[in-house]
Amino acid sequence: MSYIQIKQLVKKFNGKAVLKSLDLNIERGSLTTLLGPSGCGKSTLLRSIAGLHSIDSGEIVLDDKRIDTLSPKEREIGMVFQNYALFPNMTVEENVRFGLDMKKVNKSESRTKVQEMIALVGLEGKEKSFPRELSGGQQQRVALARALVTEPKVLLLDEPLSALDAQIRKHLQSLLKRLQLELGITMILVTHDQEEAMALSDYVYILNDGEIAQEGSPNDIYKHPKSEFIAKFIGNYNVLNKATYEKVFNAPLVDAQYVAIRPEIISPEPIEGARAIVGEVMHTAMLGSIIRYDVKIGDEMIYVDRLNRTYQQITDNKIQLYVKEEDMIKII
């Protein structure tokens, strides 16, 4: 049985269901991501699990125990927010110790645990600093240490990295993954960044408008998007509707309403048996390890991604592109 089971969870605000009968199963020690556009209900779901508000119906089971009837304190859940939410008048050490003091853990045990946790998140030497003396990334490390020191059964993370700049975010992503693996803790991470979700998760739930639009491993979702919404949301697929597809490829589309094509499988080099299309490069964007071309095909724009190797770059304006039939994902 799964470590966390959420069954037919409904949460309403002012009579309107924001979570519409959700079912989730989360494995012990896994990192599960809730991904979805702003306002789809991600924070509401986390807050329901943490007990920060009541739920209208359904059940939440953690480690074989029903917890939705318990107070937040009794649930043994830790939480980290986007805005760090540290106590400004307490030092790093005092912030981290807070949960242990609440639980009346004795002084010497508490001191050891706090030290260990501060070392684990890489903040040695900052014990006596106040939050205002730390960078955003360091403050979020404190928040992680503070949430983990009481050894919660689950750590809930609500867009913890969204306020940080790209480089710091990458460091903290690795830290999160390392903490999950070293401590064996179950994590539920909320993000609206699909790359972050793909990079960190064992399992992903994509929410849309209070419902689960798709669930699965990152690889599974990336390779088999179930709907137009998922295809557009994940991996920057080119999604062509039936009419556009038929115009672009000059061939009928049977048994599908849409076709999703990944930008990286469209090739400027001829592929045997592939469909050929002629396009015009309108814009070239350097994205680091890849180069993205905006290519106009008739009235349509598609993205084409190439690895950033000079000998592979597209230099002509008018180009011929090739896509293999089996690389096109049909969506009904």
Ligand X SMILES: Nc1ncnc2c1ncn2[C@@H]1O[C@H](COP(=O)(O)OP(=O)(O)O)[C@@H](O)[C@H]1O
Output 41 or 51, the one with its CB closest to ligand X: 41
In whole angstroms, how close is the CB of 159 to Mg ion at the nearest point? 6
Of ligand X, Mg ion, none, which one sits near residue 87, judging by CB under 5 to 8 A according to partner kind? none
* Site track for ligand X across 40-79, x = CB under 6 A: xxxxx-----------------------------------
Closest to 174 (Cα-Cα) out of 100, 23, 182, 246: 182
In whole angstroms, how close is the CB of 192 to ligand X at the nearest point? 7
- Contact status: 13 vs ligand X (CB under 6 A): yes
Of ligand X, Mg ion, none, which one sits near residue 270, judging by CB under 5 to 8 A according to partner kind? none
In whole angstroms, how close is the CB of 158 to Mg ion at the nearest point? 6
Contacts of 186 (CB under 8 A, 6+ apart): 3, 4, 26, 27, 28, 29, 30, 31, 32, 153, 154, 155
Cα–Cα distance measured from residue 320 to residue 313, given in angstroms and rounded to the nearest whole number: 13
In whole angstroms, how close is the CB of 33 to Mg ion at the nearest point? 13
- Contact status: 32 vs Mg ion (CB under 5 A): no
**69 half-sphere exposure, CB direction, 13 A CA radius:** 3
**Region from 31-39, 93-101, 105-113, 219-227 binding ligand X, contact rule CB under 6 A:** 31-39
Output 18 or 60, the one with its CB closest to ligand X: 18
Output 14 or 167, the one with its CB closest to ligand X: 14
- Contact status: 39 vs ligand X (CB under 6 A): yes
- Contact status: 234 vs ligand X (CB under 6 A): no
- Contact status: 43 vs Mg ion (CB under 5 A): yes
Of ligand X, Mg ion, none, which one sits near residue 44, judging by CB under 5 to 8 A according to partner kind? ligand X
In whole angstroms, how close is the CB of 46 to ligand X at the nearest point? 8
Output 93 or 158, the one with its CB closest to Mg ion: 158
In whole angstroms, how close is the CB of 24 to ligand X at the nearest point? 15
**What residue type is 307 in one-letter code?**
L
3-state secondary structure the chain: CCCEEEEEEEEEECCEEEEEEEEEEECCCCEEEEECCCCCCHHHHHHHHHCCCCCCEEEEEECCEECCCCCHHHHCEEEECCCCCCCCCCCHHHHHHHHHHHCCCCHHHHHHHHHHHHHHCCCCCCCCCCHHHCCHHHHHHHHHHHHHCCCCCEEEEECCCCCCCHHHHHHHHHHHHHHHHHHCCEEEEEECCHHHHHHHCCEEEEEECCEEEEEECHHHHHHCCCCHHHHHHCCCCEEEEHHHHHHHHCCCCCCCCEEEECHHHCECCCCCCCEEEEEEEEEEEECCCEEEEEEEECCEEEEEEEECCHHHCCCCCEEEEEECHHHCEEEC
Q: Looking at beta carbons, which residue is closest to Mg ion?
A: 43
- Contact status: 18 vs ligand X (CB under 6 A): yes
- Token output for 97: 């110790």
Of ligand X, Mg ion, none, which one sits near residue 18, judging by CB under 5 to 8 A according to partner kind? ligand X
In whole angstroms, how close is the CB of 192 to Mg ion at the nearest point? 8
In whole angstroms, how close is the CB of 225 to ligand X at the nearest point? 20
Of ligand X, Mg ion, none, which one sits near residue 13, judging by CB under 5 to 8 A according to partner kind? ligand X
Q: Find residue 293's DSSP bridge partners.
A: 284, 304
- Contact status: 33 vs Mg ion (CB under 5 A): no
Of Mg ion, ligand X, none, which one sits near residue 32, judging by CB under 5 to 8 A according to partner kind? none
- Which residues of this protein are in contact with ligand X, per CB under 6 A? 13, 18, 36, 38-44
Interface ranges with Mg ion (CB under 5 A):
43
